[in-house]
A and B are shown apart, each in its own frame.
Chain A
């Protein structure tokens, strides 16, 4: 069974770029869709976007101008970059995967990112 683990800084300054990595274990990243989802404190889930193992991406239109998702097949990892962050980007960030882009059947445990000076 594939397992996912998010990693990255827990604190990011306003206007800077948030960078997170998701490490895939127990399986290869060379298949499936790989997604990022976030959850602000006390709020619901928000889909950020996904990347197909071959590199094709799709992003939430509300975040598209600031988001980049990439994959590193040599390291079995995929990454999220969110630029020009504000306090509104404070959230638990989850990585997830599935055979199809429209649902996620394996999730990481999540990592908390706080945007503050």
Chain B
């Protein structure tokens, strides 16, 4: 079977840094993706890690440790518009993704 675990909710202050963790148990693991989804909206792709280490894209960074079956998404200089749900998704096999249940991030003033 496959499983992805991430916290269900996180709250952080505007301007701060927040880290959303994701641990996975999957077979045939290729890499870990992160998606953002605002309420009622479509998920949008944020980042992907196939190799161990940190990938940085503006205010967002993503990290992967294959040996620990663990990754995280780091959001810096939080803005109110970052309030959304964030999903980790494992690429399991050549053709598709398996999504976690999501972390709802609330940014407060």
- Are A and B physically bound partners? no
